[in-house]
Amino acid sequence: MKEKLTIVKVGGAVVEDEAQLAQLLKDFSAIEGKKVLIHGGGRRATQTAAQLGLESKMVNGRRITDADMLTVVTMVYGGLVNKNLVARLQANGVNALGLTGADIDVIRSHRRPPVTYTAPASEPVTIDYGFVGDVDRVDDAMLARIVNAGITPVMAPLTHDGQGNILNTNADTIASETAKALASHFDVTLIFSFEKKGVLRQPDDDDSVIPVITRADFMKYKADGTISGGMLPKIENALSAIDAGVSRVIITLASAIDGSQGTVITTDNEDKRILKTIG
């Protein structure tokens, strides 16, 4: 039987809220067994960019990253946010190690090619995301060695291409790809934690949580606009993780990373008894 591993991804909004972040780090530290923390930091990057006179541009929840923005996200994600989280986890008794994808060659990616989007009754639009990376591989053996040594990786949303270039990579993608890679070594639960109770039917109603989303549900919610923006890549990554053998994926409030509530992402054929495990 595989040993349990909990992977928690924390969003940038939580990182920016001191009360939420303090509680999350306390709860994360209390998780028994092996664990990994993966963080965003987009809001801090946007603020820092604005202070430097740089405009932030987003498409479908993804940040367009030119050379100047790459400098900002590297400083913010790999430096300020990552090392603050590591220091605070040490204070909570967790022996943490901060990593970008370039460190020990743990996540290698390639630069995303331009993407053409076609909307109904509109001309095709081609988007160049710049220095954005799509993951090619995660060194699961190296990560497993670190985890098995009693060290908790704290992973920033930066990867590299093996040619000396840092690439900005969506933190949800980092979480999903890391979970998928480690599923061959551990019984993995992946938790996406953010400032909402789960995936909401109505953005203004915090209690309108959708308890379970299958792939078919996701396509329907995407088509009718119930799910949009940054939630799209989050659920796409969650479904990809489930397909690759991750035991459980939950999207939930930052103060509920024990998995007791939130939205469970599952396949269309999953036994719906999983509903009974969510409050």
What CATH number did the domain enclosing 17 receive? 3.40.1160.10
Domain of 187 in residue numbering reads as: 4-277
Asked which of 120-129, 182-191, 202-211, 266-275 is least confident by mean pLDDT, the reply is 266-275
Q: Please give the model's pTM, rounded to 2 decimal places.
A: 0.89
Strand segments, DSSP code E, in the chain are 4-10, 34-39, 58-59, 62-63, 96-99, 107-111, 115-117, 125-127, 133-138, 152-155, 158-160, 166-168, 187-194, 212-213, 248-253, 263-265
Per-residue pLDDT at 122: 76
Question: How much is the pLDDT for 279?
Answer: 43
**Number of independent structural domains in the chain:** 1
pLDDT digits (tens, 9 = 90+) for 122-172: 788 899 999 999 999 999 999 999 999 999 999 999 999 999 999 999 898
Summarize the confidence of residues 25-45 as an average pLDDT. 94
Q: What is the pLDDT of residues 45-75, one digit of tens each?
A: 999 999 999 999 988 667 899 999 999 999 9
Q: What is the pLDDT of residue 37?
A: 98
Q: Which of 53, 133, 147 is nearest to 99 (CA)?
A: 147
- pLDDT for the residue 276: 43
